[in-house]
Structure 1
Amino acid sequence: MVLMKNYISSDDQASIVNICRDLGIGDGGFYQPGYDGGRKMNLQMMCLGKNWDPDTNMYTELRRSDNTKPPEIHPKFHDIVTKAIQDANDFIRVNGASSDEGRGLPSMSPDICIVNFYSEIGSLGLHQDKSESEESLKKGVPVVSFSIGDAADFSYGETRAVGKADKVILESGDVLIFGGESRLVYHAVTGIDPDTVPKSLREATGMRPGRLNLTFRKY
């Protein structure tokens, strides 16, 4: 599990916001997901590549609520993900974070991205990302997470016990990668820190208050 602070450049952060905005207003764009019982999640979501259904915890080609097909993952996102995994593995090797030679984060070309937008009151409870294929999970193919906009209070741990979770602040431009033995780590967004979006990003994009989070996976 590797956190790279301020990894995404200001220009790339602005590009990510603008790309997500353009995709988000089209077919398969942002919506508020919910469950069959009527309860809604406390965020706006858009899926790229494949649609994730929060009620079934399964991926589908079309979104059940409106039968729309998710947009494709933008090539710029692929480039950042590839470089981030390479740089994370360089860090692991240099710092001896893995005791066994050859170990590290498996390479990945993502075919799924879940884009969440949290308002200033948004949150997401402790959960595991485990809807991907058995093969992907077994190999520990990583999840790569981009944070853009307002900072978030992020909790993570080996169990669902909230009181035992570690905490870190994810700020705009940070990239968090968890794979290998940490692939099924429990994690949560417990709060959004208002008025923390970088001034340069707000001026370049007109981004509304909140946090944009992109998590890339391999099915």
Structure 2
Amino acid sequence: MDEGGRGGFSNSRARGRINSSRRGSPHSHESVMDEGGRGRFSNSRARGRINSSRQGSPQSHESVMDERGRGGFSNSRARGHIDSSRQGSPHFHESVSSHKESIFKKDGPSSTASGNDDKPSQIGEPKNGQSLQDKVVVDSCRLESSSGFDICLIPKRSPVKLNASLLAKNKEKRKQLECSKDGPKSYELRSGMVLLKNFIKLRDQVEIIRKCRELGIGSGGFYQPEFYQPGNMDGTKMHLQMMCLGKNWDPERKLYVDRRPFDDAKPPSIPVDFKHLVEEAIQISRSFINNSSNDVEHMLPKMSPDICIVNFYTNSGKLGLHQDRDESKESISKGLPVVSFSLGDSAEFLYGVNRIVDQAEKVILESGDVLVFGGESRLIFHGVPCILPKTAPRLLVDETNLRPGRLNLTFRQY
């Protein structure tokens, strides 16, 4: 024993053994324990095993456990199997299932075992000859391509959920109660253009978002449209996600068609509840105008919506100044109004008689606001230069998991 209490060999028989091993002596060498208590082999039989495995020796090598308790192979039979498999050895090779692979493991017999080799592969069941990793990639692409943009976030599985404070919830509830008690406040921004503040109740906002989410991830749902400008044939992606209801609006050809040209999808129908809200908003706007003018039919005609464009703006979303003039000539000439719903984060809204941004008027549209413009204002230029982040009602976000951004629905009659 040396001064540290460790076992060591004196210049003795051990050295003779080591030297003899180099000369091919059959003497075996015992393993020793190092300072950390781990088993290791001295210049010994282990090295002989490792070397013999490289030469095709059938000697087996035991697996050892590392410090964290995981099974690992020493320079051993496992390596011999791998090397032999490359040389066409008939040895059977065991597979070790990882934690990630266990997620996709299914109970019961496989399709191959039951003789259903031609059965379509389900998610988590790789086809014959297909690796699990390749199967996961294919399934992810298939799922992504088969559904539209989801305006709601998928809740994260967490044992702790941070909800809005009781003070914040009570504040929003009081605000909603005051709005429902007094009714929506109406403002005439210009002739034929009326803003109804807080018109859509919170529970109706929740239902609109849920319905748009349901329609948006299905056939004919949300997508990011392109528009083309003279001299630019590559197309430019719009800074929003769009879905059409009733009829499809083609931003390239500037017209309405029955189906989307790029996937032949038919637009979903406008939900009946949406139509009722539109008709109610028009009626309230007409009543407000009638108090100051007797020419309400000319200033703001009635309208029964049969088309709707649903846009979702993320925090970086925007839309330049433009006119809504792709409806029928009859609809435009009569000045049938456009009705716009705002939900989620607030947005700056510009409107004016031309495309010059500096000359446009600005108003903030908040969640629950409805803007109606028809008559003389039917062809007003309007746009959304920016979204105001983190301005959506907390109760609305908690109820719907709506993504950060603004959901906008614009109804018209073709």
Partner of 2:403: 208
- 1:4 matches 2:4: no
Residues 42-79 of structure 1: CA distance to partner in whole angstroms, max 9, x if unpaired?
A: 00000000000111111010001111000000001000
- 1:17 matches 2:214: no
SS of 1:152's partner is strand
How many Å apart are 1:105 and its aligned residue? 1.4
SS of 1:125's partner is strand
Distance 1:62 1:101 in 2: 36
Partner of 2:280: 83
Deviates more, 1:100-109 or 1:192-201: 100-109
The one-letter code of the counterpart of 1:131 is: D
SS of 2:227's partner is coil
Distance 2:276 2:296 in 1: 26
How many Å apart are 1:7 and its aligned residue? 0.5
CA 1:205–1:139 in structure 2 vs 1: closer, same or farther (change >3 Å)? same
Q: TM-score, with normalisation over the residues of structure 2?
A: 0.52
Distance 2:227 2:390 in 1: 31
SS of 1:18's partner is helix
Q: Which runs of 5+ in 2 are unaligned?
A: 1-192, 229-233
- Select 2:219's aligned residue among 22, 27, 33: 27
Question: Which consecutive segments of 4 or more residues in structure 1 shift more than 6 A?
Answer: none
How many Å apart are 1:107 and its aligned residue? 1.1
Distance 1:216 1:200 in 2: 26
Partner of 1:117: 312
The one-letter code of the counterpart of 1:166 is: E
Aligned ranges for residues 14-163 of structure 1 at < 5 Å?
Answer: 14-35=206-227, 37-94=234-291, 96=292, 98=293, 100=295, 102-163=297-358
Q: TM-score, with normalisation over the residues of structure 1?
A: 0.97
The one-letter code of the counterpart of 1:26 is: G
Residues 86-108 of structure 1: CA distance to partner in whole angstroms, max 9, x if unpaired?
A: 000111112x1x36365441111
Distance 2:238 2:362 in 1: 22
SS of 2:392's partner is coil
SS of 2:286's partner is helix
How many Å apart are 1:130 and its aligned residue? 0.2
How many Å apart are 1:177 and its aligned residue? 0.4
How many Å apart are 1:38 and its aligned residue? 2.9
**Bigger proportion of residues as strand:** 1
Task: Let me know the Cα RMSD of the aligned residues.
Answer: 1.1
SS of 1:172's partner is coil
Name which structure has the greater RCO, CA cutoff 8 Å, separation 6+: 1
SS of 2:226's partner is coil
Distance 1:83 1:176 in 2: 12
Distance 1:203 1:35 in 2: 35
The one-letter code of the counterpart of 2:308 is: C
Partner of 2:363: 168
How many Å apart are 1:32 and its aligned residue? 0.3
How many Å apart are 1:142 and its aligned residue? 0.2
Distance 2:404 2:333 in 1: 38
CA 1:135–1:102 in structure 2 vs 1: closer, same or farther (change >3 Å)? closer
The one-letter code of the counterpart of 2:275 is: H
Deviates more, 1:112-121 or 1:35-44: 35-44
Distance 2:344 2:211 in 1: 14
**Bigger proportion of residues as helix:** 2
SS of 1:159's partner is coil
CA 1:102–1:180 in structure 2 vs 1: closer, same or farther (change >3 Å)? closer
Distance 1:101 1:79 in 2: 21
CA 1:122–1:101 in structure 2 vs 1: closer, same or farther (change >3 Å)? closer
SS of 2:402's partner is coil
- Count matched residues: 217
SS of 2:270's partner is coil
The one-letter code of the counterpart of 1:45 is: M
Sequence identity percentage: 59
SS of 1:195's partner is coil
